[in-house]
A and B are shown apart, each in its own frame.
Chain A
Amino acid sequence: EIVLTQSPGTLSLSPGERATLSCRASQNVGGNQLAWYQQKPGQAPRLLIHAASSRATGIPDRFSGSGSGTDFTLTISRLESEDFAVYYCQHYASAPPVTFGGGTKVEI
């Protein structure tokens, strides 16, 4: 089973700043089959990035994903107020088991 470790656990930033979130896998994620989701309180998660670097439909270009192998990054270039949320990475290279990371909370 691939274990995904997200860091930091909490990121305290201000609107307009750049956010860099890390997701490290315990073994190679084949085909860069890694996704990022955003979850706001009381809401379902929303897909931001799939295949490590492809933005999902309707996602603003301030969100970008990068990385390969075992190290992946989600970058939010300029934080807006609606971006303060919890972010999860997920691999889907093999099913089952598919796993999520533990999440990074981006707070003001």
Chain B
Amino acid sequence: EVRLVQSGAEVKKPGESLKISCKGSGYNFNNYWIGWVRQMPGKGLEWMGIIYAGDSETRQSPSFQGQVTMSVDKSTGTAYLQWSRLMASDTAMYYCARSQGAFDLWGQGTMVTVSS
């Protein structure tokens, strides 16, 4: 089965670091771009950026540049989204998705809650 499976929900305090994951299976992970999409509570979808699994080339939205880091581990077929210092405004659902221009395969989402 072709799918993306994301890591579980996280509850963090402001200033803490976090790395969430997205593991692909059932397809050749290294031949595709993986994207990240943020959805704040009750709001719409925001495109954060994409990373090519084969060589880690990254294209990021200016809105998220410097705020998060995208990476991949080709050996395990896993993409990561990382924060060095979380803020309360990072509270959101984060989705990974396989990109072929459009996002044709989505993970189930990881809820990140940042609260003191």
Measured CB to CB, the residues of A under 8 A from B are: 33, 35, 37, 39, 44-47, 50-51, 56-57, 88, 90, 92, 95-103
The distance from the CB of A101 to the nearest CB of chain B, in whole angstroms, is 8
Contact of B103 among A35, A57, A101, A102 (CB under 8 A): A35
Q: In the complex, which residues of chain A have a beta carbon less than 8 angstroms from the beta carbon of B95?
A: 44-45
Q: In the complex, which residues of chain B have a beta carbon less than 8 angstroms from the beta carbon of A88?
A: 44-45
Closest 4 CB pairs of A and B: A35-B102, A50-B102, A44-B106, A92-B101
Contact of A97 among B37, B44, B63, B109 (CB under 8 A): B63
User: Given A45-B45, A45-B95, A88-B45 in contact, is the A96-B62 Cβ separation under 8 Å?
Assistant: yes
Q: How far is the CA of A51 from the CA of B106 in the complex (A)?
A: 18
By beta carbon, the residue of chain B nearest A45 is B106
* Binary CB contact string for chain B from 72 to 98 against chain A (1 if under 8 A, 0 otherwise): 000000000000000000000001010
User: Given A44-B107, A95-B50, A96-B60 in contact, is the A103-B44 Cβ separation under 8 Å?
Assistant: yes
Q: Report whether B104 and A90 are in contact in the complex, using a CB–CB cutoff of 8 Å.
A: no
B108 an interface residue at 8 Å Cβ cutoff? yes
**Would you give 20 A-B contacts (Cβ < 8 Å), ordered by A?**
A33-B101, A39-B45, A45-B106, A46-B106, A47-B102, A47-B103, A50-B101, A90-B45, A90-B47, A92-B99, A92-B101, A95-B50, A96-B60, A96-B61, A97-B61, A97-B63, A100-B44, A100-B45, A102-B44, A103-B44
User: Given A44-B108, A45-B45 in contact, is the A92-B63 Cβ separation under 8 Å?
Assistant: no
Instruction: Tell me the interface secondary structure of chain B in the complex.
Output: strand
* Binary CB contact string for chain B from 31 to 59 against chain A (1 if under 8 A, 0 otherwise): 00000010000001111011000000001
The distance from the CB of B40 to the nearest CB of chain A, in whole angstroms, is 13
Q: Report whether A90 and B59 are in contact in the complex, using a CB–CB cutoff of 8 Å.
A: no
Contact of B59 among A33, A56, A57, A96 (CB under 8 A): A96
